[in-house]
Amino acid sequence: MTTDPKKLPIEVSLVQDVKTCRTCKWFWGDIPPYGPYPAFDVKQDYPEAMIDKEPQSPNDNKPRKWLSAQSNGLQFIDPAVMHGCRKAPIMTIGINPNLTAYYSSTSGTRWVYPSFSRPQDYAYYYRHKTIYQESIDLIQVAKWLQDEDKIVAEENGWVADIQRSSDHRWLVLSVQYQNKDAITQYELSWGTRLHGVVLYDKDYRYLKEKERAPFTFNKGAVLAGKISAEKDVTLDVYKNGTKYYQRMIPILQAFKRNIGGALANADLRIGEDVAQHDMIHCASPGWSDSYDIPTDQITFNCVKKQGFVVSQMLQAMPSVIIIVGGSSLKMLGEVFSKYIDLDWNNRDIYQLLKQTTEKQYYLNINEGGAKFKARLIAVPHFSYDDNYKEHARLSPEAWQAFQKDFRQDYKILDELKLIKIDKNTGAAVVKLSGSEDPIQNDISVEGWQVLTAYFLDANAMVAKALEQEYQAGTLSFDPTTGHLTRSEGACRFCVNDLWSFPEGCPYGKIPVTSQIDTEKTVLNILKNKQREFYVKLTTTDLD
């Protein structure tokens, strides 16, 4: 192996390539739109606390002390590489990391981000990143408050509202004081030297009960302000279970129950059996028209021009790719259009969920020595619980017909508040809990049959698709490791000439020296001829 950056294995060179990428001037130009935010670094080599050994729960999101680290001041967040084992057989792909500290709430105030000075610390962190995001205590944040523009409570009162601009470092804090009739508003703005925070949340008790609610704050409390952050202060960093990263846990649990046998009690884990990737590597608060984000240009720069996702995917070569949301699928389709047998322009993610779990669709590449095939499964966004609750989903046309044909059934469902209209698609979402839902006793047999024909259980559907791949031998269980069998090909992410993680590779994926010297695989093709390979992949798009 070599330490020459131009000849490093692709899984190793991607660490520095992604971490230092500043291609998007919108993210990294003269006035970056987001940040800086409190950051932490580690000074010891490969802290064992970074390895997630706890049982992974789909619901636990309480902060727990995780790591003793050093503050690294306020930093703009480095782009993120894939989370987990590079040879995990299942890969999820979303849009981009969520910028949680953007939001004006006590939760947003507490978030802290990794900012590692050494590439090996960055690599180690993302190799072992699983279902958590990091935070610090509000007491620590309060120590960093500057006197400049500090907002201090004039009386006892309540936080009535917090409105943050979507395209500017500016917020309005609205409070109701005990002895004032009118709402008092405070404006706060900040630049790229400090960070604006709030120390109390919008009080929904007050909004419901008005003066009968307990005070949100007392006179003299600091409500909001700007923080700096010292460097090299020891921080207690907390880990917080995050819905997006936890979403695959119940799917893995259902998959294990379906298979049974040795797999039933296996500790399949996010980060080991499921790697988590994003099409875009820089974080933002969202990816919609609500934010002033040039999504097309960023997608071109990151996905097409830099081709990071192409490199990582073809090094990882997972057996199953779970694409999170229609936007992610569209980005994937634009790069791999010639190699996907799925209509990736379809924007109805639930139709795609049904389609890709009931029938097999693939990303299938056989180009210039790169040979790779993976089952594609499209799923709704991981961040929202409602997307994964059991329900019947009827298109606007089907729902109109249901209301006409089953008027009494519709009335019952409406009175029980079981109906919700999807504001994006107009589809009717009827809350059901499967074939045993007691509502079937209250509506007509025919109406129940219509609803069950449109029934969706996303967790069960994806688990069933994984079961199909297991029965076909695409996925398999390795009793020697206690995890799913790794994907094809060698990997030098954990042990190479730049760093060597103390736990090594438990999967035997590190090639011997003679193999490294003579290897003529997709890794070499991608690293040495990446642009040429990319042009082949996207000739029709570039034209």
Interval 221-238: pLDDT, tens: 999 999 999 999 999 999
Q: Kindly give the pairing relationship between strand 428-431 and strand 477-478.
A: unpaired
HEC secondary structure over 494-525? CECCCCECCCCCCCCCCCCHHHHHHCCCHHHH
Contact in structure between 124 and 271 (CB atoms under 8 Å): no
- The pLDDT-based confidence of 424 (bands split at 50, 70, 90) is confident
Distance of CA 212 to the CA centre of its chain: 39
Inside any domain, residue 272? yes
Cα–Cα distance measured from residue 190 to residue 163, given in angstroms and rounded to the nearest whole number: 15
Claim to verify: residue 364 and residue 395 sit in the same structural domain: no
- The pLDDT-based confidence of 511 (bands split at 50, 70, 90) is confident
Cα–Cα distance measured from residue 48 to residue 71, given in angstroms and rounded to the nearest whole number: 19
Q: What is the mean pLDDT of residues 361-374?
A: 87
Torsion of CA 158, 160, 165, 166, to 10 degrees: 110
Cα–Cα distance measured from residue 18 to residue 20, given in angstroms and rounded to the nearest whole number: 6
Inside any domain, residue 450? yes
Tokens of 35: 């940040």
Of 19, 16, 35, residue with least CA distance to 27 = 35
Q: Phi first, then psi: what are they for 194, rounded to 5°?
A: -125, 175
Contact in structure between 45 and 233 (CB atoms under 8 Å): no
Choose the final residue of a domain: 349, 379, 409. Answer: 379
pLDDT digits (tens, 9 = 90+) for 286-307: 998 888 899 999 999 999 999 9
Q: What is the mean pLDDT of residues 25-52?
A: 95
Claim to verify: residue 223 and residue 341 sit in the same structural domain: no
Claim to verify: residue 296 and residue 212 sit in the same structural domain: no
The residues with which 429 forms a beta bridge, in sequence order, are 393, 420
Inside any domain, residue 63? no
Q: Is the pLDDT of residue 15 over 70?
A: yes
Residue 66 parent element (H or E): strand 64-75
Q: Where are the beta strands (DSSP E) in 380-504?
A: 391-394, 419-421, 428-431, 455-456, 477-478, 483-484
Claim to verify: residue 300 and residue 363 sit in the same structural domain: yes
Q: What is the mean pLDDT of residues 370-376?
A: 90
Claim to verify: residue 223 and residue 262 sit in the same structural domain: no
Q: What is the pLDDT of residue 234?
A: 95
Q: What is the pLDDT of residue 5?
A: 57
**CATH code for the domain in which residue 373 is found:** 3.40.470
Of 89, 508, 412, 135, residue with least CA distance to 274 = 89
Inside any domain, residue 157? yes
Claim to verify: residue 369 and residue 448 sit in the same structural domain: no
Cα–Cα distance measured from residue 190 to residue 252, given in angstroms and rounded to the nearest whole number: 44
**What is the C-alpha end-to-end distance of the chain, expressed in Å?**
38
Q: Is the pLDDT of residue 526 over 70?
A: no
Q: What is the mean pLDDT of residues 54-58?
A: 94
pLDDT digits (tens, 9 = 90+) for 430-449: 999 888 899 999 999 999 99
DSSP state of 280: S
Inside any domain, residue 343? yes
CB atoms under 10 Å from CB of 338, counted, come to 14
CB atoms under 10 Å from CB of 21, counted, come to 18
Range of the structural domain that residue 409 is part of? 391-456
Claim to verify: residue 423 and residue 370 sit in the same structural domain: no
Claim to verify: residue 395 and residue 368 sit in the same structural domain: no
DSSP state of 191: -
Cα–Cα distance measured from residue 164 to residue 242, given in angstroms and rounded to the nearest whole number: 23
pLDDT digits (tens, 9 = 90+) for 461-476: 999 999 999 999 999 9
Q: What is the pLDDT of residue 294?
A: 95
Claim to verify: residue 339 and residue 295 sit in the same structural domain: yes
Inside any domain, residue 193? yes
Residue 375 parent element (H or E): strand 370-379
Inside any domain, residue 111? no
Split into its structural domains, the chain has a count of: 3
Claim to verify: residue 88 and residue 32 sit in the same structural domain: yes
Cα–Cα distance measured from residue 91 to residue 354, given in angstroms and rounded to the nearest whole number: 19
Q: What is the pLDDT of residue 278?
A: 97
Choose the final residue of a domain: 328, 353, 379. Answer: 379
Q: What does the mean pLDDT of the chain come to?
A: 91
Claim to verify: residue 334 and residue 217 sit in the same structural domain: no
Claim to verify: residue 197 and residue 287 sit in the same structural domain: no
Inside any domain, residue 263? yes
Q: What is the pLDDT of residue 539?
A: 42
Contact partners, residue 459, CB within 8 Å, separation at least 6: 250, 251, 254, 388
Q: What is the pLDDT of residue 289?
A: 82
Choose the final residue of a domain: 438, 456, 474. Answer: 456
